[in-house]
């Protein structure tokens, strides 16, 4: 079970409310985020889940690794799916592909296959409380239940952080494992995520210098902007039942800005301040970064996304690496990855990982 150290809590509890002060400088936010999510490490203990399967020149392997020891004495294991060319020409680059809310690693298999056909190993995991980690629940039901449980944990008691943060920890440990493996070039590991996976991508990759290339898709936004401008509705709807439970607990007749602020502040602390995208995304420069959003996306309001894009563009210009940043916003598109953006994101990752 995830717990915060007293120091980490102190980092998030300054003398003035977090929402009323400027965010930490990006470098300091990076240190705070790494400390906040830190927990005792366990040996990865990678295990194959049966023999590999080969079809149409590609090899598929399911496996898992250990990411943390939980308070109940169990070990959190992360299910993984890897797709690579049948004939591996030495160490290859790899891209971790992350699914959205209610999705699974199998649901992004076509992305893994496309990367593999282009000479890049495709790797996917099930996020916390998704897929093989859902306990048999369908879609996002287990995820919503875990969020509600974390929210309802009495103040002062340890609780999990199933929205983004615990999966970000898993991603850092996954990078450990695949970099140590025999088939992947440790210096050429990328990360691409869709929706929830896009948020996990910019959270995980911005503070992890080992990630050489990143492509957060329909995930870049500003949580702070959404709250300040009363545009939180799309994000809340993605896990509506958890927000409904928080509203009832707070005595509110319906989900509103206060409910979002309280729920997010407890389960994803700092995401509207120090760890918001416009602050953390700066840290990715000068590594290659691809961003794609829809102009009409209710989950990631374009005004907040533009704040993050502008922050990144400024940082890349300062680093003399403007050619390594590609941001695209599709007019008339809501919360979906267009075919054009998908092709461009894959091409971007392949270009920078294979040059």
Q: Which residues are 211's β-sheet partners? A: 189
Q: Which residues of the chain have pLDDT under 70?
A: 1-19
Chain centroid to Cα 280, Å, comes to: 13
142 lies in which domain range? 22-354
The pLDDT tens digits of the residues spanning 149-174 come to: 999 999 999 999 999 999 999 999 99
Q: Does 14 fall in a domain?
A: no
Q: Does 15 fall in a domain?
A: no
Chain centroid to Cα 234, Å, comes to: 18
Give yes or no for a cis peptide into 286 (omega within 30° of 0).
yes
Q: Does 93 fall in a domain?
A: yes
Token pair, residue 264, equals 């997010």
Token pair, residue 168, equals 């970000």
Rounded CA Rg of the chain: 19
What pTM, to 2 d.p., does this model score? Answer: 0.94
CATH of the domain at 294: 3.40.50.1820
Secondary structure class of 94 (helix, strand, coil): strand
The pLDDT tens digits of the residues spanning 59-105 come to: 999 999 999 998 888 999 999 999 999 988 789 999 999 999 999 99
Q: 322: Cβ–Cβ under 8 A, 6 or more apart, which residues? A: 313, 316
- Report which of 344, 273, 304 is spatially closest to residue 28, judged by C-alpha positions: 273
Write down the pLDDT at residue 17: 52
Domain count within the chain: 1
Q: Does 255 fall in a domain?
A: yes
Q: Does 304 fall in a domain?
A: yes
Write down the pLDDT at residue 89: 76
Q: Does 5 fall in a domain?
A: no
Q: Does 88 fall in a domain?
A: yes
């Amino acid at each position: 079970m995830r717990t915060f150290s007293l120091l980490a809590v102190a980092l998030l509890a300054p003398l003035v409310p977090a929402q009323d002060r400027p965010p930490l400088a990006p470098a300091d936010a990076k240190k705070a985020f790494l400390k906040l999510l830190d927990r005792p490490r366990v040996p990865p203990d990678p295990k194959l889940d049966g023999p590999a399967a080969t079809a149409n020149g590609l090899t598929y392997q399911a496996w898992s690794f250990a990411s943390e020891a939980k308070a109940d004495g169990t070990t959190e294991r992360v299910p993984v799916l890897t797709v690579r060319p049948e004939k591996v020409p030495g160490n290859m680059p790899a891209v971790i592909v992350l699914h959205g809310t209610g999705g699974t690693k199998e649901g992004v298999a076509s992305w893994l296959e496309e990367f593999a056909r282009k000479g890049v190993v495709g790797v996917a995991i099930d996020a916390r409380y998704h897929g093989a980690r859902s306990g048999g629940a369908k879609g996002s039901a287990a995820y919503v239940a875990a969020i509600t449980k974390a929210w309802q944990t009495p103040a002062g008691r340890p609780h999990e952080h199933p929205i983004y943060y615990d999966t970000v920890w898993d991603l850092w440990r996954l990078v450990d494992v695949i970099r140590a493996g025999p088939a992947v070039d440790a210096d050429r590991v990328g990360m691409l995520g869709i929706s929830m996976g896009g948020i996990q991508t910019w959270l995980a990759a911005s503070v992890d210098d080992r990630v050489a290339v990143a492509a957060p898709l329909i995930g870049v936004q500003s949580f702070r902007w959404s709250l300040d401008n009363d545009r939180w509705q799309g994000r809340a709807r993605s896990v509506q039942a958890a927000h409904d439970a928080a509203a009832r607990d707070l005595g509110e007749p319906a989900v509103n800005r206060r409910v979002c602020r309280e729920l997010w502040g407890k389960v994803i602390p700092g995401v509207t301040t120090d760890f918001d995208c416009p602050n953390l995304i700066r840290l990715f420069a000068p590594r290659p970064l691809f961003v794609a959003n829809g102009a009409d996306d209710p989950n990631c309001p374009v005004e907040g996304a533009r704040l993050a894009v502008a922050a990144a563009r400024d940082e890349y210009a300062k680093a003399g690496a403007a050619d390594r940043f590609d941001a695209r916003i599709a007019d008339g598109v809501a919360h979906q990855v267009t075919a054009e953006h998908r092709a461009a994101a894959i091409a971007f990752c392949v270009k920078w990982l294979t040059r």
